[in-house]
Structure 1
Amino acid sequence: MPYIAGFLAFRETPVLLGLLQKMAVKEPALYPQLLMVDGNAILHPRGFGLASHLGVLADIPTIGVGKNLHHVDGLTNLEVRNVVAKSNLQAGDVVPLIGSTGQVWGAALHSHEGCQKPIFISIGHRISLDTAVAVVRCCCLHRVPEPVRQVFSFSQLQ
């Protein structure tokens, strides 16, 4: 299935659910208690990105970690990056992503010193934003959290 912007979940979720089912059978002790997904969750134009989709279907807490921000509720990638750049944030600091309706959609995280671009964290399923941010902070040695980087690196080899 080709990539269509905004519909990543329909391409990726069946494969990821299949992998989770295989893991449940072959390695149940390694079955995840939390998924960190390289994609958005509620911080999505339709309010339900890959992380939300996968979390609901697998019934596992999920965190969406996006490298890019889609236009959501008045929030734009350029505006948020400008706010983050002007905020003089330290590593681990966040800027809440509050849309024009007043809804909190997620957080922009300055993941480490020297990083110019924030990552965008949003809740997927069965997790609070504060917990999601805390978990992601603990996993950031570079811009993108290690669990997401490792999966991305592995997928590039295949």
Structure 2
Amino acid sequence: MDPVLETLKLLKNSFQLLLVDGHGVLHPRRCGLASYVGVITNNPTIGVAKNLLYGTVGADDFVRYDGNMLGFAIKREKHSRKTIYISTGHRESLSTSIQLVKALTRSGNFIPKPLKIADFVSKNFCEL
């Protein structure tokens, strides 16, 4: 987790929200990377994960465990296996998290644009 926190220290501009490639409260300990980073930095965070670690996806696409609604599943296409799991990290509601992730995801994609850009830059950093 130190690399994430060290990277955030290097930012020259402030931000209003941080999307984290990982879970928020949709985690067996109810505190995934998005929650941890949000609490430590006191910034709003949303977890966007590609794998479900915990809970069950219902017919309404909400992920529940032990009667608690912890996240939301978004499939790329109706019959696709590609799914992202959204959960609150810190200082954001689940409904707002869902709306923001949907708004930041281009049609035909299943990963929000800011995370796609971050992934591309991290893999191609030496070429820049």
> The TM-score by the shorter chain falls in which range?
0.7 to 0.9
Aligned amino acid, residue 32 of structure 1: F
| Equivalent position of 1:22 in the other structure | 10
Q: Give the 5 Å matches for 1:1-158.
A: 13-23=1-11, 27=12, 30-70=13-53, 72-73=54-55, 75=56, 80=57, 95-99=61-65, 101-111=66-76, 115-141=80-106, 142-158=109-125
Question: Offset at 1:112?
Answer: 5.4
Relative to structure 1, is the Cα distance of residues 138 and 151 closer, same or farther in structure 2, using a 3 angstrom cutoff?
Answer: same
Distance between the aligned counterparts of 1:61 and 1:51, measured in 2? 9
Gaps of 5+ in 1: 1-12, 88-93
| AA of the residue aligned to 1:34 | L
Q: CA deviation at 1:118?
A: 1.9
| Count of aligned pairs between the two proteins | 123
Residues 106-156 of structure 1: CA distance to partner in whole angstroms, max 9, x if unpaired? 000134577442210000000000000000000111111111111111111
Distance 2:88 2:28 in 1: 14
Structure 2, unpaired ranges of 5+ = none
Larger Rg: 1
| In 1: Cα distance, 2:73 partner to 2:16 partner | 24
Tell me if the contact between 1:40 and 1:65 (Cα under 8 Å) persists in the aligned partners: yes
Partners of 1:15 and 1:31 lie apart in 2 by 18
Deviation per residue, 1:47-77 (Å, 9 max, x gap) = 111100111111100000000001x25x3xx
SS at match of 1:32: coil
- The root-mean-square deviation of aligned C-alpha atoms, in Å, is 1.9
**What's the TM-score, normalizing by structure 2?**
0.86
Per-residue deviation at 1:37? 0.5
SS in 1 for 2:61: strand
Q: Report the residue type matching 1:157 in the other structure.
A: N
Q: In proportion to residue count, which structure has more strand?
A: 2
Quick one: distance in 2 between partners of 1:35 and 1:102? 28
Q: Percent same amino acid at aligned positions?
A: 36
